[in-house]
Amino acid sequence: MDQHRKEDVLILGIETSCDETAASVVKNGREVLSNVIYTQIALHMQYGGVVPEIASRKHIEKINQVIEEAMRQAKVTLADLSAIAVTCGPGLVGALLVGVSEAKAISFASGLPLVGVHHISGHISANYIEHRELEPPFVCLVASGGHSHLVAVKDYGVYETIGRTRDDAAGEAFDKVARAIGLGYPGGPKIDRISREGNPHAIAFPRAKVADNAYDFSFSGLKSAVLNYLNSCRMKGESFCQADVAASFQKAVIDVLTEHSMHAVAEFGYDKFAMAGGVAANSALRASLEKECLVRGIRFFCPSPVYCTDNAAMIGTAGYYEYIRGVRSGYDLNAVPGLKL
* Residue 254 touches ligand KG4, criterion: CB under 6 A: no
Q: Which stretch binds ligand KG4 (CB under 6 A): 6-14, 168-176, 230-238, 287-295?
A: 168-176
* Residue 144 touches ligand KG4, criterion: CB under 6 A: yes
Cβ neighbours for 193, distance < 8 A, ≥ 6 positions apart? none
Using DSSP bridges, classify how beta strands 83-89 and 31-39 pair: parallel, antiparallel or unpaired: unpaired
Q: Find out whether the peptide bond into 113 is cis, omega within 30 degrees of 0.
A: no
Number of residues that bind Zn ion (CB under 5 A): 2
* Residue 29 touches ligand KG4, criterion: CB under 6 A: no
Residue 7: CB atoms within 10 Å:
7
**Chosen residue from 127, 144, 248, 317 binding Zn ion by CB under 5 A:** 144
Cβ neighbours for 142, distance < 8 A, ≥ 6 positions apart? 120, 123, 124, 148, 149, 150, 151, 275, 276, 277, 280
Number of residues that bind ligand KG4 (CB under 6 A): 19
- HSE, CB side, 13 Å, CA atoms: give it for residue 284: 24
Please say which residue, 132 or 196, places its beta carbon nearer to ligand KG4.
196
Residues 281-320 that bind Zn ion (CB under 5 A): 310
**What x-and-dash track marks residues 94-133 binding ligand KG4 by CB under 6 A?**
----------------------------------------
Please say which residue, 4 or 179, places its beta carbon nearer to ligand KG4.
179
Contact indicator for 147, 277 with CB cutoff of 8 Å: yes
Binding site for ligand KG4 (CB under 6 A): 18, 144-146, 171, 174-175, 186-189, 192, 277-279, 281-282, 309-310
